[in-house]
């Protein structure tokens, strides 16, 4: 069953197309990663799908409700966690959650707040002012607030930006636990390790959806080939390879250099030339999701001004 099923979504601002005929399916209980560079249209797409913005074109359903005519019903069944912390910093954790419970008309509010505090490990801090929380605890409060009404779909817009690795790990453990219980999650992220925690990924660039599938499927579809160079002259070989045929990317990784290209034969010839000239060792490596991400960023046309993208 598809929780999100949209076709040819279009959203424009001031004559600029920010979401350009995007089609997407997300299955029930799936964690779907939404990837793309800054200004690619991720946030706008999420806002259209949760009923905060009205599409200028296209159609679809979210949680079985029509995007155009049933946006209010969608809002009631969706939890949306924004990029920025958006709660009252001069209220305590408990006071913020009580406010949210009343917005959703959850009764009795006190019971819902207590349950949520307990589920997210916030009970011991319930009287702490939100403004004094660290990034990880603010994130936990935000997650508590957007799941307190038991949504069927959770939309997360870069939820772990500025959060330390331990808090990120705990956050993802919580998301997977909820997905196993049937919650569907669409999460936008720039972190490749987080994208790899998703069941499937969607890649958008300058408003256009360029790839969709599992990590393995998206990497295979990219058709890239990767070589790893090692040795004292690896840096020299990297400089040499930058302008050679078949070479799309050259990136240092510690003492080694990764060289990526889509033309296998041309890339092999260039690698062989660099090996002869510098004496480095070269072997084929595995193409990473980051390699694919960079490849797609470079290949996508910038058809709008980034400052105007949401």
Question: To which H or E segment does residue 35 belong?
Answer: strand 31-35
294/121 Cα distance (integer angstroms): 38
CATH class of segment(s) 225-286? alpha beta
* Residue 162 pLDDT: 77
Do residues 199 and 215 lie in contact, with contact meaning Cβ atoms separated by under 8 Å?
Answer: no
Q: Which CATH number fits domain 2-219: 3.40.50.300, 3.90.79.10, 3.90.550.10, 3.30.70.260?
A: 3.40.50.300
* Residue 300 pLDDT: 63
Could you tell me the pLDDT band of residue 308, with boundaries at 50, 70 and 90?
Answer: very low
Domain segments of the chain: what residues?
Answer: 2-219, 225-286
DSSP per-residue codes, 157-169 = ESTTTT--HHHHH
DSSP per-residue codes, 236-285 = HHHHHHTTSTT--EEEEETTEEEEEES-HHHHHHHHHHHHHHH--EEEEE
Report percent pLDDT > 70 for the chain.
96
Tens of pLDDT, residues 11-57: 999 889 999 999 999 999 999 999 988 888 999 999 999 989 999 99
What's the count of helices (H) and strands (E) in the chain, helices before strands? 11, 14
Could you tell me the pLDDT band of residue 301, with boundaries at 50, 70 and 90?
Answer: low
Dig out the tokens for 152 from the structure.
Answer: 């069927």
The predicted model scores a pTM of 0.87
181/101 Cα distance (integer angstroms): 22
Q: Residue 172 pLDDT more than 60?
A: yes
Do residues 53 and 71 lie in contact, with contact meaning Cβ atoms separated by under 8 Å?
Answer: no
Place of tokens 């924004």: 82
Q: Tell me what the pLDDT averaged over the chain comes to.
A: 92
Q: Residue 305 pLDDT more than 50?
A: no
Q: Residue 6 pLDDT more than 50?
A: yes
Tens of pLDDT, residues 179-222: 999 999 999 988 888 899 999 999 998 899 999 999 999 999 99
Q: Residue 307 pLDDT more than 80?
A: no
Q: Residue 309 pLDDT more than 70?
A: no
* Residue 37 pLDDT: 86
Q: Residue 310 pLDDT more than 60?
A: no
251/285 Cα distance (integer angstroms): 13
Residue of higher predicted confidence among 112 and 304: 112
């Amino acid at each position: 069953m598809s929780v999100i099923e949209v076709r040819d979504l279009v959203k424009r601002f001031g004559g600029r197309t920010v979401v350009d005929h995007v089609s997407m399916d997300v299955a029930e209980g799936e964690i779907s990663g939404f990837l793309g560079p800054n200004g690619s249209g991720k946030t706008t797409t999420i806002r259209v799908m949760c009923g905060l913005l009205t599409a200028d074109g296209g159609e679809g359903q979210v949680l079985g409700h029509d995007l155009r005519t049933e946006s209010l019903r969608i809002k009631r069944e969706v939890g949306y966690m924004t990029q920025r912390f958006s709660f009252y910093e001069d209220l305590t954790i408990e006071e913020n959650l009580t406010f949210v419970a009343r917005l959703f008309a959850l009764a009795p509010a006190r019971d819902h707040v207590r349950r949520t505090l307990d589920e997210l490990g916030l009970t011991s801090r319930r009287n702490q002012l939100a403004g004094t929380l660290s990034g990880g605890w603010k994130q936990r409060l935000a997650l508590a607030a957007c799941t307190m009404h038991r949504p069927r779909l959770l939309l997360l817009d870069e939820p772990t930006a500025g959060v330390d690795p331990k808090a990120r790990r705990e956050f993802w453990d919580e998301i997977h636990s909820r997905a196993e219980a049937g919650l569907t999650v669409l999460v936008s992220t720039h972190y490749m390790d987080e994208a790899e925690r998703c069941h499937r990924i969607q890649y958008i660039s300058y408003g256009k959806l360029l790839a969709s599938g599992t990590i393995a499927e998206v990497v295979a579809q990219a058709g890239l080939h990767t070589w790893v160079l090692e040795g004292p002259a690896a840096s020299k070989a990297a400089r040499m390879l930058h302008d050679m045929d078949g070479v799309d990317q050259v990136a240092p990784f510690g003492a080694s250099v990764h060289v990526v290209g889509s033309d296998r034969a041309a890339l092999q010839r260039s690698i062989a030339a660099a090996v002869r000239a510098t004496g480095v060792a070269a072997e084929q490596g595995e193409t990473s999701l980051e390699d694919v991400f960079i490849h797609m960023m470079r290949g996508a046309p910038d058809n709008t001004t980034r400052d105007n993208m949401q």
